[in-house]
């Protein structure tokens, strides 16, 4: 791929490939699906608007994660300012519209708690693979471990997470 990969021909393919993993990456940091989608969509919109002048010196994946990370940092800073303002005025900015939103929020919180109970190395492997969307080979290279070790750790993490969620009656499988 050239160093100008965001052209009319392949932009849609890049979007379809990376939108989900990028949303997962952002959500793992801000724990807000709507905000995550907004951040990633905004990053893609900016890339589309500037596609003629963007030159990628790394991989497309690295460029996208870096762009989204920067937008996420701006979002967090902006959210922090809103929270500070709300605290100063004495208002709550958090509300729950319906039961589905509450259930979804509770499940996400339990998943995050369950992830925190994993061994640090297993958690890191799981997050890199399932949240950030790296392949087992990429995780293995990044952490300098075998691909088989990545597979084993992800499988064990899935079993532990499933057991934890069953115990908390959040899944029935």
Q: What percent of the chain has pLDDT over 90?
A: 16
Question: Which pLDDT band holds residue 8 (cuts at 50, 70, 90)?
Answer: confident
pTM: 0.47
> Which of 12-16, 129-133, 157-161 shows the lowest per-residue confidence on average (mean pLDDT)?
129-133
> Could you give the residue ranges of the DSSP H alpha helices within the chain?
11-30, 33-49, 60-89, 99-116, 120-126, 136-143, 147-167
Question: Which pLDDT band holds residue 140 (cuts at 50, 70, 90)?
Answer: very high
Mean per-residue pLDDT, 11-30 = 88
Q: Which CATH entry fits the domain spanning 99-167: 1.10.3470.10, 3.30.1450.10, 1.50.10.10, 1.10.10.10?
A: 1.10.10.10
Mean per-residue pLDDT, 62-68 = 88
The two tokens of residue 130 are 């399932």
DSSP 3-state assignment of 21? Answer: helix
Mean per-residue pLDDT, 46-72 = 85
Burial 92-124 (b: 16+ CB within 10 A, else e): eeeeeeeeeeeeeeeeeebeeebbeebeeebbe
Fold of 11-89: Rna Polymerase Sigma Factor; Chain: A (1.10.1740)
For residues 148 and 140, what is the distance between their CA atoms, to the nearest angstrom?
A: 8
Q: Dmax over Cα atoms in the chain, in whole Å?
A: 54
The two tokens of residue 101 are 């939103």
The domain spans of the chain are: 11-89, 99-167
- Check pLDDT > 50 for residue 94: no
Residue 100 pLDDT: 52
- Count CB neighbours of 82 within 10 A: 11
């Amino acid at each position: 791929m050239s160093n100008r990969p965001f052209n009319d021909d392949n932009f849609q393919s890049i979007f379809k490939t990376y939108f989900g993993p990028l949303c997962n990456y952002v959500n793992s940091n801000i724990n807000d699906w709507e905000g995550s989608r907004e951040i990633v969509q905004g990053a893609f919109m900016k890339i589309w608007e500037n596609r003629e002048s963007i030159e990628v010196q790394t991989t497309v994946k690295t460029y996208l994660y870096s762009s989204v990370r920067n937008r996420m940092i701006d979002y967090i800073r902006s959210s922090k300012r809103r929270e500070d303002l709300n605290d100063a005025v004495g208002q709550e900015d958090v509300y729950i519209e319906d039961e589905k939103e509450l259930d979804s929020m509770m499940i996400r919180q339990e998943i995050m708690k369950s992830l925190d109970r994993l061994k640090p190395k297993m958690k890191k492997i799981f997050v890199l693979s399932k949240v950030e969307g790296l392949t087992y080979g990429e995780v293995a290279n990044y952490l300098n471990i075998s691909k088989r070790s990545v597979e084993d750790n992800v499988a064990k993490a899935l079993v532990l997470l499933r057991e934890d969620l069953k115990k908390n009656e959040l899944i029935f499988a």
